Amino acid sequence: MSVPEVSEAIPLARPVLGEREEQRVLEVLRSGRLSLGPLLGEFEREFAPRVGAAHASAVSSGTAGLHLALRAVGVKDGDDVVTTPFSFVASANVAVYERARPVFADIDPVTLNLDPDAAAAAVTDRTTALLPVHVFGYPADVAAFEKLGLPIVEDACEALGAVDADGIPVGGRGHPAVFAFYANKQLTTGEGGMLTTADAAMKERIDSERNQGRAPNMDWLDHDRLGFNYRLSDLACALGLAQLERLDDMLAARARVAAAYREALSEIEGLELPCPDVAQARRGWFVYVVQLPSGFDRDDVVRALAERGIPSKPYFPAVHLMSFYRERFGHREGEFPVCEDVAARSIALPFFPQMTESQVERVAESVRDVVGR
């Protein structure tokens, strides 16, 4: 029986893992110190300068880091946090953890990031923090948010390697900024995150709250504040340290794949590609999200691509229209028209550092098939 020739399936995302990762994780296994060992501090000290930060605290996830960051800037029960509805749901959820209210404002149609004018209009005397997201690795206009004079927490979970339009690396402005290390991010520890800050006292508080509220020099069963278990294991830190060694290569490879996509997709009428960098801004490439030409149903396109063997995913659905947010906060269609229009037309295509030009071409051909006219 003859088997039809099929080319290897293209995944949506795939981490780069090699001998170095195996070696470093094995060292931890053999050492027997699986958590709160020496690699936690080593990972933090290696990471901070990579994003221009004075301090870094490793945590168990990006979400955990955002939660601790909001607490650290003083968000409390009954407060408002102004943020974007075009994000992964975690950036809104963390406000709800503290019984604060995520107050959404619409996005910029080009960068897809929180629009500073819309954010300013959403600020009231209940607003105690702003939470911009560097969506898809494109730097949000944090300099504009700074003018509003409120504490800022940056969701940089998709933005490792990004640089703001004024040349400051994302993570380097001094506000708490949070990076994430889930398996599809630019750097992975399986699960994990890192909070950076310019403030030594804030780092001390974060380090305590991630470890059940235990002060650094405290006896092990004394705790002077409420804390969580948001620790990152030494196994995960070992993986992160190995990944840091190849971070520049992985970021460059992602940028190369993005350039190949731009070239391969630029002819398709009405298809919107990720915005190019302006001024000194640099995108830290995370995903390759395109907005479909009007007249195409997003879910139909995802199905048609799947039939051609190409995985893709709606990216992102609007947070305020998710059932929990509708029910809890009474949101409905029409509140944030730019976000809703973009969300209805956006899909993520396969994207990872080792993606070859011929794989990019295969994806592009299928996209052309499905949405080309």
Ligand X SMILES: *Cc1c(COP(=O)(O)O)cnc(C)c1O
**Residue 116 to residue 144: CA distance in whole angstroms:** 6
- The nearer residue to ligand X, 12 or 215, going by C-beta atoms, is 12
Residues 153 to 172 in contact with ligand X, rule: CB under 6 A: 155, 157-158
Stretch that binds ligand X, among 55-63, 271-279, 329-337, 355-363 (CB under 6 A): 55-63
According to DSSP, the residues that pair with 114 across neighbouring strands are 107
Residue 61 engages ligand X in binding (rule: CB under 6 A): yes
**Residue 73 to residue 26: CA distance in whole angstroms:** 38
- The nearer residue to ligand X, 51 or 370, going by C-beta atoms, is 51
Q: Active-site residue among 76, 147, 185, 203? A: 185
Task: State in angstroms the smallest separation of the CB of 32 from ligand X.
Answer: 27
Task: State in angstroms the smallest separation of the CB of 182 from ligand X.
Answer: 4
Task: State in angstroms the smallest separation of the CB of 167 from ligand X.
Answer: 23
From candidates 193, 240, 274, 350, binder to ligand X by CB under 6 A: 193
Q: Look at the chain and count its residues.
A: 373
Task: Give the x-and-dash track for 129-148 against ligand X (CB under 6 A).
Answer: ----x---------------
207: its two tokens: 């380090």
185 belongs to the catalytic site: yes
Stretch that binds ligand X, among 5-13, 28-36, 150-158, 289-297 (CB under 6 A): 150-158
**Residue 300 to residue 316: CA distance in whole angstroms:** 16
Task: Give the x-and-dash track for 248-267 against ligand X (CB under 6 A).
Answer: --------------------
CA-CA distances (angstroms) from residue 47 to 39, 171, 245, 284, 309? 12, 10, 10, 16, 38
According to DSSP, the residues that pair with 193 across neighbouring strands are 59, 180
- The nearer residue to ligand X, 179 or 261, going by C-beta atoms, is 179
Task: State in angstroms the smallest separation of the CB of 281 from ligand X.
Answer: 18
Contact 351, 288 (CB under 8 A): yes
Stretch that binds ligand X, among 33-41, 45-53, 56-64, 267-275 (CB under 6 A): 56-64
From candidates 152, 162, 180, 289, binder to ligand X by CB under 6 A: 180
Residue 189 engages ligand X in binding (rule: CB under 6 A): no
- The residues near 153 (Cβ < 8 Å, ≥ 6 apart) are 66, 69, 70, 73, 129, 130, 131, 175, 176, 177, 178
- The nearer residue to ligand X, 85 or 169, going by C-beta atoms, is 85
Peptide bond into 316 cis (omega under 30): yes
Contact 105, 255 (CB under 8 A): no
Three-state DSSP state, 173? coil
From candidates 83, 84, 91, 233, binder to ligand X by CB under 6 A: 91
**Among all chains, which residue has been given the structure tokens 């229209």?**
321
DSSP 16-75: ---HHHHHHHHHHHHHT--SSSHHHHHHHHHHHHHTT-SEEEEES-HHHHHHHHHHHTT-
Counts for the chain of helices (H) and strands (E), in that order? 13, 10
Task: State in angstroms the smallest separation of the CB of 87 from ligand X.
Answer: 5
DSSP 226-259: ---B----HHHHHHHHHHHHTHHHHHHHHHHHHH
Residue 225's identity, in one-letter code, is: R
Number of residues that bind ligand X (CB under 6 A): 14
Q: Which residue is nearest to ligand X (CB)?
A: 62
Three-state DSSP state, 362? helix
Task: State in angstroms the smallest separation of the CB of 70 from ligand X.
Answer: 12
From candidates 40, 51, 73, 90, binder to ligand X by CB under 6 A: 90
From candidates 88, 104, 230, 351, binder to ligand X by CB under 6 A: 88
Residue 62 engages ligand X in binding (rule: CB under 6 A): yes
Residue 63 engages ligand X in binding (rule: CB under 6 A): yes
Residue 103 engages ligand X in binding (rule: CB under 6 A): no
Q: Catalogue the active-site residues.
A: 185
Q: Which residues bind ligand X (CB under 6 A)?
A: 61-63, 87-88, 90-91, 133, 155, 157-158, 180, 182, 193
